[in-house]
Structure 1
């Protein structure tokens, strides 16, 4: 049959309309997985919606609309390569307009009962093996009963006895008073569940206790041999967790072997209004692509994932920088063009989100990651992959709030980039961690590293350390990093236990990084420290009010270590230069130095003129830079500032941190954190 031009045109319109139309699916807590998944007959789970899309045609975009309410996950929400969309036809799982769907990996416990000053409830049988170590009460995590309640104890000494090539027995001596406050109060049969969390330099060791030696005020544990460069010793701090007698402070809880949960309520909590939730699942979302079948063109929007758990294994957790072996509640492998936007990941026992292996061109945007057992976000691996399809690169983490982490693994990092390049970490609020805010690179020394061309820009990073770990920074870098730029960030309120607590910290082998237009203030040991590295450029930064030092440089090498130019360094206490400044090879010029306290500014005990005579600080000056109110941390620079004459370019800080609608910006600004520096 011969088709007329009009019929051919109508057929073309019909074909185009069919191929470009979208498929909509609906999910509701009141729905049924036996329903059609329509707006009138929604599914009950997004897993059922995922399966419906698997069976449908992929030549159209699919949107899963998720209604308001609480959804209980019986297992993580898993996506595989089969669940991919295309660039033209993505697959989107999103909250309905105005909805706040919460996907929970936890179980709500029976209502509380009042028993004296405590509230009690009971664990279901299914949650008693293993016994839980996290409890969410209302909108906050409760604290597993511990001593001390605030601060930490210090060990009296540690001895080690090898039991094999890699394993050892450690005997840890406690101060008699600390022993009496903790292990001297244990009830019968409590020992197997008691945990010791030790803080040593930049690491943590978490162990179950094998034996108590009462006459020596000591405990015995078994595990891996201690690292010679970072052992437990008489300077290590610790606390003891998970025993009944420690339940003595508002916000603490304890579950006895019978399944009875006891909780000491916080001021203002009402027993009839506050629910208790025990996390069951470790992971809540898993994108599980493969090398030849990645998950592609999928978006998660407006969905809240909460209540992920962690249970310490019998062998404990050995020390590892940045809690690097710990996985994430949202774990992503082999994913391309995946976006997580306007979501929440909270009250979880491990890391929040991890773009781990084979992730490329993915995005995390405007998402709240909080109350995590480990850190916030991770990009890449600790391993170098040789197959391009297995590499992680071009990940964007922008406009997120990453706060209140390290609650189980204090050595975790707010935002971590391993062997991964060409990533963007920008406009994030990163706060309230016990170790480093941002860590980039995973190579100790000058050997091969993939952490190149990363952009770290406009992040607000603050309230770190709290004096419990050392060797840390607002940003910490490792290894060759050609093309990496750290620009326009604010780092402040950083306080270490013993040494460390810097703003900009270039550690072992950090090379070819540009630090520019950053504001650093209120740190323990200064705005900038280079341990060792090559040709890093520190330019046009404001480094202010370090407690002990302002600038630090340590290992001496034959090559040029760094360039220091056109910076303003202002302080009122402590030493200006600490370390090997008279021997380290560096170029410095056009910097402005000023001591607000009125003390003479000296460079390793020398005047500026004498220091310049040795070839350093060419064209630098000692002068008041004329900030609007530096002591109140208003670093607006006067028009007649002498620093401007040196070539310093004033930069704005108003656009640092998260952006967008007022509710999102105020969410970051209104959070309150404890002081990081002891008063």
Structure 2
């Protein structure tokens, strides 16, 4: 017989009904020494039969009853279950429906929240550990789920948890399934259905998903872009000259949307007038002078006559008719077609700013969030940078010490997640974020808050896999930090987006901001830009950021449309930023660019294979721009230094430079037009060398140094990339095979 379990003076007991994994109540208790022997007997593993087993069970029930009646007992755990076959009139304390059909799990998350709130109101049932577990399936939400301060957990060890049932996959969806499809006679592959809510003005959507795939709104042209002729003729409203046949007068006054790309922003507006004689189109709003771009690219969406390619769809607001051009062998009556209904955040945590109360110690674990939309203003949309006006679909404001882990964010209409006003010390760990209309994660606000309760700081963004971003709003960012400090962005894998991967800061100039002491490290960032927009970085910074560090990041394949595809990009006012141990390669414009800034430090980085330049410096100012030491610069195209290096307000030394082209030599290398000797006369790179750094296999992105590398003698320390990106223990969870 196995040894009897010893019972400590503190203990727990669970009363269960139905399935053994479904506790109705967990209690904690204090035992007197004389009671320990009785309970120890009750808890012994036993093969008893008959009378002895009955006696043991009777004692267990007797002890449990005494414990529950004792004043020293307090309820500490409440678990509720939600299932697609549940009922909101049931208790929610069973994992699955009881055999008699009288009890079982709840049917919705809002009902489960209502029950937890009721339990909290009953002081006799107040719980330290409250959990809601969702079983597999899709849960359609008619309105956002809102968490308030009263939903907070007790402390870090006793959080309020909303999570997936073990090994199942629940989806919280803001969409509705579209049915009633019929083939249109005489139109090969065309299907239609009528949606009364759209016809009645109660619903409109700009995204559609078929069998878990995003579908393209009817688009002209089907691929690529139209181009305006020259510059815009007017800015407010926008007027431009178009090429013959590109714009149709029939689109005026309809829901057809014109989407134009300009430098680092986009605009999405309606066509208000067309002058066919002079080929001039007038749009619904304005554009700022500094982002205008000659011969701007644009396309048109949701025009009825543009519905001409498989996988495209068109929604007629007036009739409510949704038309879809099917792909090969696609039967919509056997397909899952979902359109987003919720036009705002799917889930919100809202602190009470007036009362000074936060939402605290809430954990969201293993959930999937999908199918939201974003409402286009009546005059359209004009971005200023980073799709800043598009909010998060999971929105935390006034949240503290909350954690989002192991979740999936997909097919969403805004940014996936926002840690906004007043959110502090939250953690976002091991999530997958993909197929998002805008960007991945927003941290902080554009506003600089003075009230300590309203400030944002201390977030951890770790081991997340973000990809397929900017699917509607191209300027969106993978992870963006606004007016927020002391954040840690670490071990993320961000790729396949059209603008910057990580952006830190929101101040153009030298004013003091709360954006400081942000640590950006061990991130893998690649396939950024993809030739869609301009003026971007793998990592982009703005403003004074004392204590901010960018280190041990792997950045590659940053490609802009025209200018500005940079790896590390310190933009306007970037100050006091340390950049070290980064490996940056295959960036269109340069591995590093500083627009203007002060006292930044770049040390022990590798910059390789810049296509046009390797390093760039734009605005010259009367203070030290940066210190550039102990770096390796390795290239086989373009020049070493681009833009402005005329004044001497920068310091460069102990670097290794190498031009790997067959016809290159140390004598031919130019430093902003000067030879190395002349460059040294100006006080730069006095102890730097031009030599092969003996990288293991740079053409195949192996930037390790061979033992006899001359860079080591200069003081360069090898950069270990083995832990870059999502760590191995999380990769399967976030579907990252990199």
Q: Same fold by TM (over 0.5)?
A: yes
8 A contact 1:120–1:260 mirrored in 2: no
1:94: which partner in 2? Answer: 163
Provide the C-alpha distance between the structure 2 equivalents of 1:556 and 1:356, rounded to a whole number of angstroms. 36
Provide the C-alpha distance between the structure 2 equivalents of 1:365 and 1:236, rounded to a whole number of angstroms. 39
8 A contact 2:432–2:735 mirrored in 1: no
SS of 1:37's equivalent in the other structure is coil
8 A contact 2:583–2:607 mirrored in 1: yes
1:126: which partner in 2? Answer: 197
SS of 1:397's equivalent in the other structure is strand
1:677: which partner in 2? Answer: none
| C-alpha spacing 1:281/1:641, structure 2 compared with 1 (3 Å) | same
SS of 1:223's equivalent in the other structure is coil
8 A contact 2:463–2:730 mirrored in 1: no
Which of these two proteins has the greater Rg computed from alpha carbons? 2
1:238: which partner in 2? Answer: 298
- CA offset digits 1:199-236 (Å, max 9, x no partner): 11111111111111111222112324x323223x4332
Q: How far apart are 1:549 and its partner, in Å?
A: 0.8
SS of 2:290's equivalent in the other structure is coil
| C-alpha spacing 1:616/1:303, structure 2 compared with 1 (3 Å) | same
SS of 1:648's equivalent in the other structure is coil
Q: Does 1:217 align with 2:279?
A: yes
8 A contact 1:85–1:296 mirrored in 2: yes
Provide the C-alpha distance between the structure 2 equivalents of 1:161 and 1:527, rounded to a whole number of angstroms. 36
Q: How far apart are 1:113 and its partner, in Å?
A: 4.3
1:22: which partner in 2? Answer: 77
1:593: which partner in 2? Answer: 657
| C-alpha spacing 1:563/1:16, structure 2 compared with 1 (3 Å) | farther
Q: Does 1:264 align with 2:325?
A: yes
2:56: which partner in 1? Answer: none
1:62: which partner in 2? Answer: 130
SS of 1:183's equivalent in the other structure is coil
Provide the C-alpha distance between the structure 2 equivalents of 1:262 and 1:624, rounded to a whole number of angstroms. 61
- Corresponding residue to 1:515 among 563, 576, 579: 579
8 A contact 2:648–2:682 mirrored in 1: no
- Corresponding residue to 2:450 among 386, 389, 409: 386
8 A contact 2:430–2:734 mirrored in 1: no
- Corresponding residue to 1:152 among 225, 229, 247: 225
Provide the C-alpha distance between the structure 2 equivalents of 1:16 and 1:297, rounded to a whole number of angstroms. 28
| C-alpha spacing 1:450/1:585, structure 2 compared with 1 (3 Å) | same
1:76: which partner in 2? Answer: 144
Provide the C-alpha distance between the structure 2 equivalents of 1:112 and 1:608, rounded to a whole number of angstroms. 72
8 A contact 1:556–1:584 mirrored in 2: no
2:51: which partner in 1? Answer: none
Provide the C-alpha distance between the structure 2 equivalents of 1:648 and 1:66, rounded to a whole number of angstroms. 52
- CA offset digits 1:588-641 (Å, max 9, x no partner): 111111111132322122222221122101211111111121112121211111
SS of 2:732's equivalent in the other structure is helix
SS of 1:51's equivalent in the other structure is helix
For 1:80-479, what aligned pairs fall within 5 Å after superposition? 80-87=148-155, 88-110=157-179, 112-115=181-184, 116-128=187-199, 129=201, 130-159=203-232, 168-176=236-244, 180=245, 182-184=246-248, 191-224=253-286, 226-231=287-292, 233-256=293-316, 257-266=318-327, 271=332, 273-282=334-343, 283-291=345-353, 292-479=356-543
Q: How far apart are 1:152 and its partner, in Å?
A: 2.2
Q: How far apart are 1:246 and its partner, in Å?
A: 2.0
8 A contact 2:174–2:341 mirrored in 1: yes
Q: How far apart are 1:158 and its partner, in Å?
A: 4.7
- CA offset digits 1:56-114 (Å, max 9, x no partner): 13442101111111111111111011111121421101101100001111111116544
Which portions of structure 1, spanning 4 or more consecutive aligned residues, are displaced by more than 6 angstroms?
7-17
Provide the C-alpha distance between the structure 2 equivalents of 1:160 and 1:18, rounded to a whole number of angstroms. 77
Provide the C-alpha distance between the structure 1 equivalents of 2:723 and 2:327, rounded to a whole number of angstroms. 37
Question: How many matched pairs?
Answer: 655
Provide the C-alpha distance between the structure 1 equivalents of 2:704 and 2:327, rounded to a whole number of angstroms. 41
Provide the C-alpha distance between the structure 1 equivalents of 2:586 and 2:335, rounded to a whole number of angstroms. 38
1:634: which partner in 2? Answer: 702
TM-score, normalisation: structure 1: 0.92
Q: How far apart are 1:197 and its partner, in Å?
A: 1.0
The range that moved more, 268-277 or 450-459, is: 268-277
Computed over aligned residues only, the root mean square deviation of the Cα atoms, in angstroms, reads 2.3
SS of 1:22's equivalent in the other structure is strand
| C-alpha spacing 1:667/1:558, structure 2 compared with 1 (3 Å) | same
- CA offset digits 1:411-453 (Å, max 9, x no partner): 1111100000000111111111111111100111100211100
Provide the C-alpha distance between the structure 2 equivalents of 1:529 and 1:662, rounded to a whole number of angstroms. 33
| C-alpha spacing 1:123/1:630, structure 2 compared with 1 (3 Å) | farther
Provide the C-alpha distance between the structure 2 equivalents of 1:544 and 1:665, rounded to a whole number of angstroms. 32
8 A contact 1:427–1:659 mirrored in 2: yes
| C-alpha spacing 1:663/1:81, structure 2 compared with 1 (3 Å) | same
SS of 1:658's equivalent in the other structure is coil
Provide the C-alpha distance between the structure 2 equivalents of 1:244 and 1:5, rounded to a whole number of angstroms. 79
- CA offset digits 1:340-388 (Å, max 9, x no partner): 1111111011111000100011011111111111111010010011111
| C-alpha spacing 1:252/1:51, structure 2 compared with 1 (3 Å) | same
Provide the C-alpha distance between the structure 2 equivalents of 1:56 and 1:473, rounded to a whole number of angstroms. 50
SS of 1:277's equivalent in the other structure is strand
- Corresponding residue to 1:37 among 83, 86, 92: 92
1:545: which partner in 2? Answer: 609
The range that moved more, 410-419 or 81-90, is: 81-90
- Highest relative contact order (Cα 8 Å, sep 6+), 1 or 2? 1
- Corresponding residue to 1:565 among 629, 634, 646: 629
